[in-house]
Structure 1
Amino acid sequence: MYNKVLIDGLTALPHKLVRAILVVSDFSMVVLSALLAIGMIIGFENFGGSAHLWQFLCLIGAISLITIFVFRIQLIKLSVFSSRDVLKIGQAAGVLTIVHLFGALMLDVPRAIALTLVFGSLAFTSMVASRAIATVALGALRDRIRARRPVAIFGAGGTGIQLASALRTSPDVRPVMFFDDNPLLHGMDIGGIPVAPPRELVIEAARRGLEQLIIALPESAQERRDGLVEICERINMEVQVLPPFAELLAGKSNTPELKTVDPHDILGRAKVDLDTPEIAKSYAGRVVMVTGAGGSIGSELCRQILTCRPAKIVLFDVAEYNLYKIEHELNPLADERKVALSAHLGSVSDATRVKKVIGDENVEIILHAAAYKHVPLIETNEIEGARNNVMGTKIIADAAVAAGVERFILVSTDKAVRPTNIMGATKRMAELIIQDLQTRTQATKFAMVRFGNVLGSSGSVMPLFQKQLEAGGPLTVTHPDVCRYFMTVNEAARLVLLSGAYATGGDVFVLDMGKPQRIIDIAYKLIKLSGRTVKNPATGEGDIEVKVIGLRPGEKLYEELLIDQKNVVPTPHPKILRAEEDYLSQIEVAAFLREVQQAIDSSNATQLRKVVAARIDGYKTQQLPVNA
């Protein structure tokens, strides 16, 4: 108890008192250095009777006080003592050395040059050493006051070293280890912190009791970061990623704010490079219309099209605020690139409005991203889902043919493959409409793109989990075995644009997205990466609960991308596949369109479901597991 009170008192001294102590310490070091130099070069036996030496000593003492205040070395903070501080002390010691030499020569002190060299060396060394000792002592005191968590840093480059320096003053964590891929750094000590190769991470974590790994790697090292996250997960070690260096520069605190691993890191695969020259070539100088332009996919499509320097981008959306937002965002960028931009409010199910916009704007390419996509909502609003997704697609596709539009790309979903819900069924109908139209026109090339869940899009699992985490949980999962494919918004939009470039007519494009992932595993991973622990329902230990709430109406356990896995052909891009799927005849498509329109006109949801069950191959109602 007495030791703690003493330590608390020493580390909580007023700043003015600390500075006064440093001034007295530096003054004492300079005077002591002068005395030692005299004793070593002239001899103390000759000191007592020499008036010149006494005058000289007083001169050095007075000049030392002036130099300390001029160079402000009493303001150097011990807790972050660095090489710059050493340089400042060196400058002060240099001035003192010059003054010492002139004073010794003026007062005719014997062996003036030798005396000055010894004095300068001793003064510099003693001022640096006193601060180094004080810094080590303060660190030891801080560790005794508060048990700080031992952490490791991956990346012993400039950013990692800056981070370690900042964390030394943290009351909560203590950097004890660097890990780095560079073999030239292995075995070295950087600022007293050893550097080890990555292969020793697991061993050192156990030996040193490391509780957290902070990754200080550039954004480009995505694959390396993913590997480290997996290792830390296996050994139940927390992992956090240092923000980009630009963000650190903008930070206001001494300790950089750490962020949890970006949700994109849960992809479970390397991001697909979809930057190809075909994209810019296909859209440059063209008038491109994007339906659903204010949505997650539509807005990203607009951003990426803008970089292709089209002649004009026509924004079309029924949601006023979303349309306003994307137009407001793109206007300055469009002006900068000299790309025309026009925004039109309207629904794709309004045939008159659609035809007028396409005709007035002389549209050449249409990217059709407007759709109702939320499965539970459409499951109870079947008629509006069919009106927008089925008839809306028919209306805008017909308008495209009538206007002689060059290319039409439908944004579809993996839920259209053997659907178990009305949303998926309506998207499958939209695909069949596009395929049928292609058989009766050569002027317009139709294609469609299927992809899985888009990270960060409205209504997707990532924003939901993030909100639930911020609220303290629980994270809700519908079933322990629910699996989904995931891709980034950037990949989704890029795939749509590439499909437009590769389209030959009636194509179905899919992206190789690796293996599907269990939603519950993603929930566990996000909890761990946020620096928290999963609550154990049996013991109550942990921070965040993962709660299974049961499958929602129409929800599948597993999603598929292809109806027939065998009929797949490659494209110029190795990660993009083209599926050759069976078409319905014109008579069959016309029949289900007539039946869907009748159900819409009579607002008969039961009739609509009968049409879906009869016309959509593979459709079946999801049977919920007993233990859901």
Structure 2
Amino acid sequence: MTSRFRTFALSLTRPQKIAIMVVADVIALPICLMLGYLLRLGEADYLEQYGFAAATVMALATIPVLYLSGLYRNVVRFFDVRMLRTTGVSLAVLAIGTYGITIALGAHPPPRASLLIYWFIAFSYVLFSRLFVRHLLHQSPAARLKRPRVAVYGAGEAGFQLVNSMRDGRTHTPICFFDDDSRFVGRHLSGLRVYGMDDVIRVVYGADIDEVVLALPHASPERRKFIVNRFASMGILVKTLPSLDQLAESSALEYTIREVQIEDLLGRKSVPPMEALFSRCVQGKCVLVTGAGGSIGSELCRQILSRRPTTLLMVEHSEFALYTIELELKTRFPNCQVIGVLGSVLDEPLLERITRVHRVDTIYHAAAYKHVPLVETNMAVGLRNNVEGAWVVAKVAAQNRVQTCVLVSTDKAVRPPNVMGASKRCAELIFQAYAAESDVQTTFSMVRFGNVLGSSGSVVPLFREQIQHGGPITVTHADITRYFMLIPEAAQLVIQAGAMASGGEVFVLDMGDPVKVIDLARSMIEMSGLSERSETNPEGDIEIRVTGLRPGEKLYEELLIGSHVSRSEHPRIMSSRENSLSLASLDVLLRTLLGQCRQNSEPGMMSALQLIVPEYAPYSQWQRPTGDTAPPAQPVRALLSYWQDDVPSVAPTGRTALSR
């Protein structure tokens, strides 16, 4: 019966639904007035004394008054408190108007107390009639299926709205609250009891909780990580609410609940950009991005267009990647000039032409091969793309007097044991050499950061896919550690680097302490509501398998070569002095290296590479026995601990900027 009514109601057109509501109200509201008479006067005989003039006026006035109040325009399934308030005021106006019009018509006016009684009866009718229909419409087949039993962590405003939304949506069953605040523990909110963290195990297992939703939009990353790990260790799936801004509409609350992302567990807040720096080299300028179809390049393009450049030029050698990002950006920013250029950074005439014709102001060079094992086994191609590509970009920028040119580098460029890292260090040296030239008007700078979460080749999507397939998760070494940052953080750092540069700096974001990759894998297993399969837990769900270091892979990464640091405009971005080469001497070494690349001589390429990057030590010199552990990576903040407010900044030439 209920399902047939729901099907019938949903099949009606909007005018048909309004017509049914109008007819029902025209009939019911005069009856409500007659009931008000009866309750006030006590006997039905008195009704004849007052006649039916007021009831007739009520029927005629019902439609325009309630229509103007918006009651008929409101969707019954989303009947809210604001609509109730409007309805109450409208019914009061209707009652008072009925009294006045009855007198104006010369009829016997109804008792004033009966109108007050009428208001309560009519309001109850409107409320319960709409709620009844709403209840019937929510009784879908899906609503009768087993719904997850949910505990809400956070007995505040966000938690209160979330529980009410769950009850309206009927897709989850709220069971209880958890909260750290002892003032709430033991009390009830929205009819549910609030428990403390000491009761977690007893309540979760006793009440058969399926999920926990964090309603703590402003909790610190450390606190969120602790809570997630606590419930994940019990096999409970944890979800979260993004922010209180997204909780303004209670009807949308359930759609803002999302799975806890791995970035929630890194234990640090994202580094916000400084607005003045963020716009300085972009707003009102012509900007060129190489490697625009990659993870960093595409995010750079998005961030740049949000700052209203005159033109964005995107250079990309992959046709599909360029098509994808160009389509997205032209859809999102229809009023901005976006030009896709299909080509390689090795094509010097192409880069020279577009830079000259469009009078480019700023270049962000993000085009590079970044996968360590692939570059290690394809040495010649990797060196040409990463080294010669940076050389071409720097040369074109200097010749065309581009204002700012920023290189996207990597922490693998610091004391590299692999070809990819050494090639990026070469690229840094090229930019440093051009920055040191007195006749070059372009400001060259570099950005060095660690692993970017969510980028192509990142361990996070790899681990997620391995978990979805039932494992095992593959980790190359039990002690391997990495620095992690978010894609927006990386793009914002690149853009700010150009704004702060005076020439030759390498900017590095403080990404907190390095994270053990195996701990990251365990956190992702727990976040999925699963357990690790190990010798101590043979019945677990997902195995973590150590496969051994790949060629050229380091156990740990570093952010700095030198240790002399000074401040910059951004409070978390600093500078460090590093060695550099003159452009004249570097020119000879680069020609030797690229000559070996054309001959595809691996020994020759490695020897030439070591002449440019003396700290480059091929993988065989770094490889350790499986049982050895890596020396702990030194956190950035430890290197900066000696700062004094009165320490003068070092000279700009050859500087490396460090984000603290």
Q: State the TM bucket, normalised to the shorter chain.
A: 0.7 to 0.9
- CA RMSD, Structure 1 to Structure 2 (Å): 5.5
Name the structure 2 match of 1:471. 469
Q: Structure 1: give runs of 5+ residues left out of the alignment.
A: 1-10, 17-37, 54-70, 72-76, 96-111, 133-144
TM-superposed deviation, 1:408: 1.6
TM-superposed deviation, 1:424: 0.3
Name the structure 2 match of 1:276. 275
> Could you report, residue by residue, the CA deviation over 1:404-438 in whole angstroms, capped at 9, with x for unpaired residues?
22222111100000011110011011111222222
Structure 2 vs 1, CA of residues 123 and 596 (structure 1 numbering), >3 Å: closer, same or farther? closer
TM-superposed deviation, 1:258: 4.1
User: 2:547, 2:483 → 1: CA distance?
Assistant: 21
Matches within 5 A, 1:292-371: 292-332=291-331, 334-337=333-336, 339=337, 341-371=338-368
**Does residue 573 in structure 1 map to residue 570 in structure 2?**
yes
TM-superposed deviation, 1:479: 1.6
8 Å CA contact retained: 2:242, 2:257: yes
Matches within 5 A, 1:143-222: 149=149, 151-157=151-157, 159-168=158-167, 174-179=173-178, 189-194=188-193, 196=194, 201-209=196-204, 212-218=211-217, 221=218
8 Å CA contact retained: 1:166, 1:254: yes
TM-superposed deviation, 1:526: 2.2
8 Å CA contact retained: 2:522, 2:532: no
Name the structure 2 match of 1:266. 265
User: 1:122, 1:165 → 2: CA distance?
Assistant: 26
> Could you report, residue by residue, the CA deviation over 1:19-52 in whole angstroms, capped at 9, with x for unpaired residues?
xxxxxxxxxxxxxxxxxxx99x99xxxx9xx999
User: 1:280, 1:123 → 2: CA distance?
Assistant: 59
Aligned with residue 403 of structure 2, among 402, 406, 414 = 406
User: 1:526, 1:588 → 2: CA distance?
Assistant: 49
User: 2:268, 2:253 → 1: CA distance?
Assistant: 35
**Does residue 436 in structure 1 map to residue 433 in structure 2?**
yes
User: 1:529, 1:172 → 2: CA distance?
Assistant: 21
8 Å CA contact retained: 1:290, 1:367: yes
8 Å CA contact retained: 1:269, 1:514: yes
Matches within 5 A, 1:537-548: 537-538=534-535, 539-548=537-546
Name the structure 2 match of 1:455. 453
8 Å CA contact retained: 2:565, 2:574: yes
**Does residue 228 in structure 1 map to residue 224 in structure 2?**
yes
Name the structure 2 match of 1:518. 516
AA aligned opposite 2:200: A
User: 2:516, 2:386 → 1: CA distance?
Assistant: 28
TM-superposed deviation, 1:247: 8.2
User: 1:504, 1:291 → 2: CA distance?
Assistant: 22
User: 1:353, 1:123 → 2: CA distance?
Assistant: 77
User: 1:311, 1:121 → 2: CA distance?
Assistant: 62
8 Å CA contact retained: 2:291, 2:315: yes
User: 1:288, 1:255 → 2: CA distance?
Assistant: 40
AA aligned opposite 2:461: P
Which has more radius of gyration? 1
8 Å CA contact retained: 1:429, 1:616: no
8 Å CA contact retained: 2:246, 2:256: no
8 Å CA contact retained: 2:221, 2:268: no
**Does residue 549 in structure 1 map to residue 547 in structure 2?**
yes
AA aligned opposite 1:456: G
Name the structure 2 match of 1:34. none
Name the structure 2 match of 1:8. none
Structure 2 vs 1, CA of residues 203 and 123 (structure 1 numbering), >3 Å: closer, same or farther? farther
Q: Give the secondary-structure state (helix, strand or coil) at the position aligned to 2:239.
A: strand
Name the structure 1 match of 2:58. none
User: 1:81, 1:305 → 2: CA distance?
Assistant: 41
Q: Give the secondary-structure state (helix, strand or coil) at the position aligned to 2:533.
A: coil
User: 2:147, 2:380 → 1: CA distance?
Assistant: 62
Name the structure 1 match of 2:617. 619
> Could you report, residue by residue, the CA deviation over 1:188-207 in whole angstroms, capped at 9, with x for unpaired residues?
5333113x4xxx63123134
Name the structure 2 match of 1:535. 532
Structure 2 vs 1, CA of residues 349 and 212 (structure 1 numbering), >3 Å: closer, same or farther? same
8 Å CA contact retained: 1:278, 1:501: yes
8 Å CA contact retained: 2:525, 2:531: yes
AA aligned opposite 1:383: A
User: 1:612, 1:624 → 2: CA distance?
Assistant: 23
8 Å CA contact retained: 1:425, 1:619: no
User: 1:204, 1:84 → 2: CA distance?
Assistant: 40
Q: Give the secondary-structure state (helix, strand or coil) at the position aligned to 1:233.
A: helix
TM-superposed deviation, 1:484: 0.9
TM-superposed deviation, 1:514: 1.0
**Does residue 604 in structure 1 map to residue 577 in structure 2?**
no
8 Å CA contact retained: 2:161, 2:250: no
Name the structure 2 match of 1:503. 501
> Could you report, residue by residue, the CA deviation over 1:317-337 in whole angstroms, capped at 9, with x for unpaired residues?
111122222222223555425
8 Å CA contact retained: 2:271, 2:489: yes
Structure 2 vs 1, CA of residues 169 and 468 (structure 1 numbering), >3 Å: closer, same or farther? farther
Structure 2 vs 1, CA of residues 155 and 422 (structure 1 numbering), >3 Å: closer, same or farther? farther
AA aligned opposite 1:152: V
AA aligned opposite 1:239: V
Q: Give the secondary-structure state (helix, strand or coil) at the position aligned to 1:283.
A: coil
Q: Give the secondary-structure state (helix, strand or coil) at the position aligned to 2:355.
A: helix
Structure 2 vs 1, CA of residues 591 and 179 (structure 1 numbering), >3 Å: closer, same or farther? same
Matches within 5 A, 1:37-76: none
> Could you report, residue by residue, the CA deviation over 1:326-358 in whole angstroms, capped at 9, with x for unpaired residues?
222223555425x4x322222111222222222
User: 1:363, 1:508 → 2: CA distance?
Assistant: 22
8 Å CA contact retained: 1:313, 1:342: yes
AA aligned opposite 2:227: I
User: 1:177, 1:571 → 2: CA distance?
Assistant: 49
Aligned with residue 420 of structure 1, among 400, 417, 420 = 417
- Calculate the TM-score normalised by the size of structure 2: 0.70
8 Å CA contact retained: 2:231, 2:238: no
User: 1:617, 1:381 → 2: CA distance?
Assistant: 21
User: 1:597, 1:116 → 2: CA distance?
Assistant: 95
Q: Structure 2: give runs of 5+ residues left out of the alignment.
A: 8-37, 48-65, 67-75, 95-110, 132-144, 629-660
- Calculate the TM-score normalised by the size of structure 1: 0.73
| Segment drifting more, 325-334 vs 387-396 | 325-334
Q: Give the secondary-structure state (helix, strand or coil) at the position aligned to 1:545.
A: strand
Structure 2 vs 1, CA of residues 401 and 118 (structure 1 numbering), >3 Å: closer, same or farther? closer
Q: Number of paired residues?
A: 588
> Could you report, residue by residue, the CA deviation over 1:453-480 in whole angstroms, capped at 9, with x for unpaired residues?
1111111122222323333333322222
8 Å CA contact retained: 1:469, 1:544: yes
| Segment drifting more, 345-354 vs 207-216 | 207-216
Aligned with residue 493 of structure 1, among 491, 494, 499 = 491
User: 1:384, 1:233 → 2: CA distance?
Assistant: 44
Structure 2 vs 1, CA of residues 356 and 424 (structure 1 numbering), >3 Å: closer, same or farther? same
Q: Give the secondary-structure state (helix, strand or coil) at the position aligned to 2:405.
A: strand
8 Å CA contact retained: 2:285, 2:309: yes
Structure 2 vs 1, CA of residues 147 and 431 (structure 1 numbering), >3 Å: closer, same or farther? closer
Q: Between the two proteins, what is the percent identity of the paired residues?
A: 38
8 Å CA contact retained: 1:551, 1:624: no
User: 1:122, 1:250 → 2: CA distance?
Assistant: 30
> Could you report, residue by residue, the CA deviation over 1:36-73 in whole angstroms, capped at 9, with x for unpaired residues?
xx99x99xxxx9xx9999xxxxxxxxxxxxxxxxx9xx
Structure 2 vs 1, CA of residues 185 and 117 (structure 1 numbering), >3 Å: closer, same or farther? farther
User: 2:117, 2:285 → 1: CA distance?
Assistant: 79
Q: Give the secondary-structure state (helix, strand or coil) at the position aligned to 2:503.
A: coil
Structure 2 vs 1, CA of residues 389 and 166 (structure 1 numbering), >3 Å: closer, same or farther? same
